[in-house]
Structure 1
């Protein structure tokens, strides 16, 4: 997802879930894959910090995307805080579980 209008539509019309440090917006897209965007809150440091945070988020998503249901547009809004990989991975797991997008792994 790269179109600004699609992202704004998702902010307004999508379902929402939140946890400490992040918020998830999602909506079905009728495709066979997920489209994902990671964005930072307005008061999130400088460009270097924002880019690093998005890189951490993309890597955490990459590691867990096989555990998610397909066919959704997803926006993850990240708030300032600790930028540690394990913490970001836990945040995404909590968000996707709350949203019902995480498949049961047994």
Structure 2
């Protein structure tokens, strides 16, 4: 019983300590989810994606991909509009501090 209480207290402490990060992560996840729902395609699950829709036979899988391309590429202009917004954004280009360590080692160039 004491062990269960200790585990509950530790979990509560961790959740309380990281509440801001948890809220920020939830908001980011929600924003990404609402944006990605606009991308045309079959419905997918969070971790496995479209894997549950895939056919096991190679030939059937190829036909399935062709069918999806015909079905969902009719509205591809919406996808390219989203892709343009993502690719032109500078928000995802900022590099973390680890790149400073790498740039000291290999210099600046294509990788850094």
Higher RCO by CA contacts (8 Å cutoff, separation 6 or greater): 1
TM-score, L = length of structure 1? 0.28
TM-score, L = length of structure 2? 0.27
Larger proportion of strand: 1
Larger proportion of helix: 2
